[in-house]
Structure 1
Amino acid sequence: MTAGLEKACHRCLSQVASNAFFVFGLFAFLALPLTMAYVGVKTIDDCPAQPMIPIYLLVGGIVGSLKVMLLLYDITKMRSLLSKSIVIGDDDDDEYPWRQNAHKYQVHIVLSAFLFTWFILGNYWVFSVYAPNFIPPFHRPHEYCRKSLYVFAVFVLALSHSVLALLLCCSFCSFCIQLCTRTSARDDYGED
């Protein structure tokens, strides 16, 4: 990693780790995967029309909770490292002490890839039975899905789509701002 990029990552991680609102936001966000897991367990047999919907909520909730708790642990560790680096000063041999924990980022990548794949599968499972019967029909009792379960699964997917769109927009805007900053920083319009 180049020195400039590494320093930029250091500043970014420092800002995120020291931001209390981000930490409280993660705690608040932890409620969603925990609720997903709870609803998945409670309604495991309540959607014979597509039995993978409660399993989608259960597994997604457990892995999502694990991911958020791992993020909270990493931020707590980062705050500890930052406070030590302020106390010790910059005379330390290792300017970026979290390099030793770089393997944890691989765990984050694997969990994120799994959650993204699970999200795509969840879209298929939920919308493949779009608008199922919410009351078991007399002649086909296995072609229904509990309304609260189905509506919650659609809500989770809609929220996930919204967050994904927001992240993509923010990434695109950040890229555009960096591009404009680099372009305006050049002295193409200098005086002769």
Structure 2
Amino acid sequence: MIAVGAVITWTVLTVVRVIFGVVYFRDCPQQPNIPNYLLGLALISLLMIPFVTLPCETYAAQPREHPRGFKACMVCLMGLFIFTWSLLGVVWVFSVYQPNYDPSATDGLYCNKTLYTFAFWNVVLETFGFGVFLAKFCKGMLCYVNMSPVNSDFYNNV
């Protein structure tokens, strides 16, 4: 039941990111990359669909022409892209923190308040999600190191 709610939330968030990115594409001359950031997040979500929905590979189903490391390499590249895109989003959004929301500004530099607020909270929640992921990863690594069997021959030979 939780998985269904997560998929629905993920789908709605992707659609809303596309809508905000397209509708407000030219409404932030102060930092024109903010709509691109939202569209990129939606693209990342769409590119992740095959990795989430396809069943796990087995040795029997593994085609001979595609090595097993290919999928691992693609997942690694996708993770690197997501991390880089998220860092760029943080830079783009926070570089104009509290932008001018008035479209009639004399210098023409403003950002739509709705667009900026939505992008701001996307950045904050995404950064929080990375923090939770990193904490869980560190906890898992700590448990792995603590639970690993000790090679007694190593200590006897020292």
User: Which range, TM-score by smaller chain?
Assistant: 0.7 to 0.9
Partner of 2:60: 97
1:73 is the counterpart of 2:73:
no
2:89 to 122, 137, 141: 122
With the length of structure 2 as denominator, give the TM-score of the two structures. Answer: 0.79
Is it true that 1:170 corresponds to 2:136 in the alignment?
A: yes
Residue identity opposite 1:53 in structure 2: I
In 2, are the aligned partners of 1:123 and 1:157 still within 8 Å (CA)? yes
- After superposition, the Cα gap between the structure-2 partners of 1:23 and 1:72, relative to the gap in structure 1 and judged at 3 Å, is farther
Kindly state the Cα deviation for residue 131 of structure 1 after the two structures are TM-superposed: 0.5
Shift in Å, 1:64: 2.2
What number of residue pairs does the alignment pair up?
148
CA offsets per residue over residues 29-49 of structure 1, 9 Å max, x none?
233233212210111011011
1:144-177 CA-partner distances (Å, limit 9, x unpaired): 1001100111111111111100011111111222
Match of 1:60 in 2: 41
Distance of aligned partners of 1:138 and 1:122 in 2 relative to their CA distance in 1, 3 Å threshold? closer
| Structure 1 unaligned regions, length at least 5 | 1-19, 82-94, 188-192
- Deviation (angstroms), 1:113: 1.6
CA RMSD, 1 decimal: 2.5
Partner letter of residue 23 of structure 2? K
Q: What is the TM-score normalised by the length of structure 1?
A: 0.66
Of the two, which has the highest radius of gyration? 1
For 2:148, what is the secondary structure of its paired residue? helix
Query: Structure 1 159/97 Cα, relative in aligned 2: closer, same or farther at 3 Å?
Result: farther
Q: What 5-or-longer segments of structure 2 have no aligned partner? A: 153-158
* Residues in 2 aligned to 1:51 and 1:42: alpha-carbon distance in whole angstroms: 13
d(CA) in 2 for partners of 1:138, 1:27? 40
Residues 138, 38 of structure 1: alpha-carbon distance in 2 compared, 3 angstrom cutoff: closer
Identity of aligned pairs, percent? 28
Higher helix share: 1
Change (3 A) 1:30 1:104: farther
Tell me, what secondary structure is at the counterpart of 1:97?
coil
What is aligned with 1:145?
111
